[in-house]
Amino acid sequence: MGHYTNLTLSEVQDILKIYSLGKVKEITPLSYGISNSNFKVLVINNSQSKPFLLKISNDKNKSELNEEQEILDFLKKAGFPLSISPLKTIDQATIFSYKNYIGAIYPFVEGITPKPEQETCFQIGKALGKLHSLKKESFSNYSIRKHKTIGFELPFISNFVLDKDCPPKFKEYFWDLFPKGIDSLINEPFEEGIMHGDLYYDNTLFKDKNIITLLDFEQAGLGPLILDLGISISGTSLIDGKISTSLVEKFVEGYEKERLLSSIEKKSLNSFILLGLFSISLWRIYRFKFGELDSKKADSYIELLERASSFKKELFKTSKEKT
């Protein structure tokens, strides 16, 4: 699913006027994105054609959208090479408002979505390690939001299981995988930094087998880096929809080319791969089951919990074979 919003040529032209970009020649809805409507817009200016990415937010408010652009602005100034900064409007704003729509326009990057395989995992791991290597002092003067304001971290997961609105399946899988709860992990002071929050393989673009761009920083913010690593691994190191331990190893190998894991992070990594799936499950529950984004996907969170259960069984099997 890539576009929930249908825009006419005239409406896109009105949006382009906010940027003074030129005349729209062609609009192509794109096939990626869940909480956005994405369009490739071909613009003519001075007899030259140039493509742009037009994104309409389907579930973010202005404040949240502005916060995302602030993070992208920081990454640009910090010299992070794998993010794309938004264009600015005539009024120097990073987002636009038009009718009932809010969104942003970006330079269009040509690339392909990779398959989840060894080299893919290595390169995405390396890219995430580079993001996590940004030092706190480099963004201390920026008002970068906390990841927990838009994502689901461990305290929220732990409390949600006790909530009356928690779906039975979520409770069932949580207590099966974490029979002692997760308080010990909650109380551990894991290093924090800028999380991407949703770095699955389909949120990347590759060209000539090299990663060139990380997409969709909508869930980005300051938070525990080990959770971000777990989230990314849980949606990237996959073979036939299941987490592959060999691909996990390749992902971590790439990651540690940029940032070495601490001993407690290494010890806790498998737990955070599981918790990454619970975190993204909550994203789906709140968007699809409790929200109005796409009711047909109301129970899609269950497939992530099944993936977590399958991974835990694989870890147990591997551990048993070693002993």
What 287-296 contacts at long range (C-beta under 8 Å, 24+ apart), as own/partner pairs, is 287/34, 287/35, 287/59, 289/167, 290/165, 291/59, 293/4, 293/34, 293/35, 293/58, 293/59, 294/1, 294/4, 294/34
- What is the pLDDT confidence band of residue 1, given thresholds at 50, 70 and 90? very low
Determine the pLDDT at residue 32. 58
Mean pLDDT of 152-161: 98
Mean pLDDT of 242-256: 98
- What is the pLDDT confidence band of residue 137, given thresholds at 50, 70 and 90? confident
Determine the pLDDT at residue 6. 81
- What is the pLDDT confidence band of residue 322, given thresholds at 50, 70 and 90? low
Distance CA 180, CA 260 (A): 29
Mean pLDDT of 190-214: 96
Determine the pLDDT at residue 142. 82
Determine the pLDDT at residue 239. 96
Determine the pLDDT at residue 43. 96
| DSSP notation for 257-317 | TTSPPPHHHHHHHHHHHHHHHHHHHHHHIIIIISSSS-GGGTTTHHHHHHHHHHHHHHHHH
Residues whose CB falls within 8 Å of the CB of residue 21, separated by 6 or more in sequence, listed in order: 43, 45, 52, 87, 105
Q: pLDDT tens-digit profile of 50-85?
A: 999 999 998 889 999 999 999 999 999 999 999 999
- What is the pLDDT confidence band of residue 2, given thresholds at 50, 70 and 90? very low
The structural domains of the chain, ordered by start, are 9-107 (3.30.200.20), 118-322 (3.90.1200.10)
Q: pLDDT tens-digit profile of 284-310?
A: 999 999 998 888 999 999 999 999 999
Which phi and psi angles does 108 have, rounded to 5°? Answer: -85, 130
Tell me the percentage of the chain whose pLDDT exceeds 70.
96
Average pLDDT of the chain, as a whole number: 93
Mean pLDDT of 83-110: 96
**pTM (predicted TM-score):** 0.94
Residue type, 15: I
